[in-house]
Each structure stands twice: as C-alpha cells, then as structure tokens.
Structure 1
Amino acid sequence: MPNNKIGGHYSQAYDEELQQAVERLMQMAQLAQQQLTDALTAFTSADVALAQQVKDFDRRVNNFEVDIDEHCLDILARRQPAASDLRLVLAVLKSINDVERIGDLAKRIAKALLKEEADSRPATSQLDALAEMGQKVLQMLQRALAAFEQIDAQAALAVLREDKAIDDDYARILQHSLSSMMDDAKQISVSMQISQVAKALERVGDHSRNICEHAIFLSLGRNVSHLSDEELQQVVDKKRR
C-alpha cells in the first residue's frame, strides 16, 4: 500500500520543509515533462519556433535543480534528518538529477530539428514510430513521478517494467534506420537523425526507471539499483508481508 505521509514531527516548519522538497521536485518534473512534450511535437511537426523555445526553456529546469539542491542541503545542515526523513531528502536529491537529464534530452530532440537539413525530412512512418514511442515514454515518466510522490513501491515496480517496451521500440527504430542507410545512402542523414531522437527517448525511459528505484528506496529503505526485475519483485513482496 502507498504511504504518502511526509513528516509528522513536533515541528510543523520541519514537516513543511520536507513537503516543499517533494513539491518542488514535482514542479521541476512538470516543466521537464512539458519540455519533452513540446520537443516531440516540434520534431514531428517541423515546428522550428517551438524547438527553439524548448532549447531556451532548459535554463528554467536547471534553475529548479539548483534551488531544490540548496533546499535539501539546508535541511541536511539544520535538521540533521535520520531514518525516513533522510531517505526522503536523499531520494529527492537523486531524482532531481534524473529530471534535469530528462530536460537535457528534450533539448537534444529539439536541437535535432534545428540542425535538420531542408531536404532531409523523415518519412511519415518514421515520425509515427517516434511519436508512438514518445507517448509511451511520457506515460512512463508521469506514472514514475506519481509513484514517487505517493511513496508507493508496488506502483513504482509496475512502472519500471514498462522500460522493456520502450527498449523494444528503440531497437525496432534503430534496426529500421540501419536498413534504410544500407539500402539508400541518401537516407543516412535522416536515419542518423531518427536514431538520435529515439536514443534520447530511450534514455528518458532509463531515467524514469531510476525515479522508480528512488521511490522504492524511499518506501522500503533498500537501495535497489542494479537489481533485476525479479529481484526487485522479491524485495517489494518481502516488505509487504
């Protein structure tokens, strides 16, 4: 069962500081999500103005990272948190790094369009494949953040398994791009561009998985990095008994 209670201390100010750390992380994540959504829209619709906006928008995400980092360090210095409070602060610090990288990857997608040659637009089928993969990535990210906010290890476990479908999409797009390049040298530029965007989306899936692992750490107090899905299931099931 999820446990989204944060705080519960005699000091209401301390509770508010912990809650603010999570709230600011979610605000930062919303910016990164919008940045990624806009980047995908810009790339698939060849909207250069929107792509430039995504690129310029990246500074706001970076500013959020600095603000949250300073907020968490202030909590560590003044409150000297322990147990679940310390896990919360550490999980937020880890997660803002993943969210910041997601913002960077959105900017990379936008820059792929800005660097696009006038006569090298991808085919509709290629753009459709990227759009489908992008929707899966955005949904995974949204659900990963919800699992973190609710401190729900079971939900986080379910979400991180979605990364396999994203990896499969990436493999199919990459294989199609390689085949296109081999069949027609004129397709090299377009295929490289498609592969670059697909790789960025695949990396967003990886960072979403990381956020799920941070949620499990926050909920259960176990560092589950580098564990297989089967091992993660055992950790979650053991804690539920």
Structure 2
Amino acid sequence: MKELTTDHISKQFNNELEMLRQHFLTMGGVVETQVQYAVQALLDGNGSLAEEVRDKDLTVNQLDGLIDEECRRILAKRQPAASDLRMILSISKAVSELERIGDEAKKIANLTLNLVDEGESPRGYVEINRIGQMVSRMIHDTLDAYARLDIGAAIKVAKQDRLVDKEYNTAMRSLVTYMMEDPRSISRVINVIWVLRSLERIGDHARYTCQHLIFMVKGIDVRHINANDLAREIEDK
C-alpha cells in the first residue's frame, strides 16, 4: 500500500496484505452502490431496485466475514508490527463501518417498499435527494482516500459530515411542522423521517471510516477530535 507498507522477506505476506486491501475496497464499492440504488429506488418508486439493494446485503455480509477471517489469520500467522499492524487493525474496524452503511441502505430499501405500497409521494423527497447525494459523495471520497492513502481527503470527508447533519436537522424541523399541520400525513412522513435518519447515520459511518484511515497512516487516534481541528492535530504530531 504505497508508502504505508514495507518490503517483507515473505512475498506471500505482501500478497496477503494487498488482498486484504482489495477485498476492503471491493466491499466498499458494493456498499456505495447499495446507497446509490436505495436512494434512487425511493425517488423513482422502484420496488425492483429496492429489492436489488436488499439482495446485495448478502454479498456485503460475505465480504465482511471474509475480511474478518483474513485479519485474524494474518495476525495469528504473521504477528505484524508497526504500520502493518495499524493497517490490519484499521481495516478490521473500518469494515464494520461499511457493514453498518450496508445495513442502513437495506433499511432505506425496506422503507421504500412501504412507501411504494402506499402509492403516494410524501413530503421530504427533495431533502432525501439532496442528503442522499451528499452521503454518496462521502462514501466515494472515503474509498478514494483509502485507495490513495490521502489524509487530506479523509479530513474533508469528516468535515462534510457536519454539513449533512445541518441538512438533516433542517429537514427534520420542516417535516415535523408539516405533520403538525396535516395529521393525516403522519404515517407517510414517518417513513421519510426514518430514511433521512438512515442517511444521516451513513454520513456518520463514512466519517468514522476516515478516522480509521488517519490512524492507519499516522498512528493518531482522532475519534474524539473536532473535524475542524483534525488538520492542526495531525500537523502537531
């Protein structure tokens, strides 16, 4: 992995680390597609596409198990140290974030099927489209940061999550007001609220994934550092 990994006496060790990285990025690609399809299925009222999102959950779970097994096998067999150890530990944690993103996409797909059955487009779809695009970009940029070990890109993703939170809070206030004005809309809008909640959580998991990348490359635990202070904290180290 670029400058992060070192040359090992065992070529097989290098191959194992590279395979681990490739499996992680593959899983990330599946999850990224899940989120994009989930949002599109909702906006288009496409039940078939929502079903496809749910079907991809099996692939995500299989990759999750595969990567977990690879991490445990490398730790037991190779007893890695320094940057190699950080890489394995970071990927082990980051893959859990990807799996949770997949779970949230599946939730959106299930809610989409509920809304399709109701046959009416409620309020909140504009907000879903906007926030959906934001978190999809966050996932894409997160995976790109991992592929290039780009700390600057990781910091940008962490900052982007604050904008997602702001959009989410604004949308929630608008939808709550709408339900108070039209109680007949409550059952429909509640589903939209849960979709927005899932999208907000996806943004959180993308941010957490980038935090694990920073630890991988720099060896710094930034989980409790404000996003605006990340760059300065890393420079100080």
TM-score range, shorter chain: over 0.9
Q: Deviations over 1:87-132 (max 9, x none)?
A: 0000110011000000000000000011224244224xx2122111
The one of 165, 168, 190 aligned to 1:167: 165
Q: Deviations over 1:115-161 (max 9, x none)?
A: 224244224xx212211111110111111122122222222112210
Q: Deviations over 1:196-222 (max 9, x none)?
A: 111101001000001110111011101
Question: What is the Cα-based RMSD across aligned positions, in Å?
Answer: 1.6
Q: Deviations over 1:62-88 (max 9, x none)?
A: 010000000111000000000000000
2-structure distance, mates of 1:38, 1:111 = 12
Percent identical residues = 33
1-structure distance, mates of 2:45, 2:153 = 36
The one of 204, 215, 218 aligned to 1:217: 215
Can you give the 5+ residue segments of structure 1 that lack an aligned partner in the other structure?
none
- Give 1:52's aligned residue: 51
* Offset, 1:37: 0.8
- Give 1:122's aligned residue: 122
* Offset, 1:172: 1.3
- Structure 1 length as normaliser, TM-score? 0.93
2-structure distance, mates of 1:133, 1:231 = 24
- Structure 2 length as normaliser, TM-score? 0.95
- Judge conservation of contact 2:220–2:234 (CA < 8 Å) in 1: no
* Offset, 1:4: 4.9
Question: Matches of residues 201-212 of structure 1 in structure 2 within 5 Å?
Answer: 201-212=199-210
Pair 1:108-2:107 in alignment:
yes
* Offset, 1:231: 3.7
Pair 1:135-2:133 in alignment:
yes
Stretches of 4+ aligned residues off by more than 6 angstroms: none
Q: Which range moves more in the overlay, 190-199 or 66-75?
A: 190-199
- Give 1:8's aligned residue: 7
Can you give the 5+ residue segments of structure 2 that lack an aligned partner in the other structure?
none
Q: Secondary structure at the match of 1:115?
A: helix
Aligned residues between the structures: 236
Question: Matches of residues 55-74 of structure 1 in structure 2 within 5 Å?
Answer: 55-74=54-73
2-structure distance, mates of 1:70, 1:179 = 48
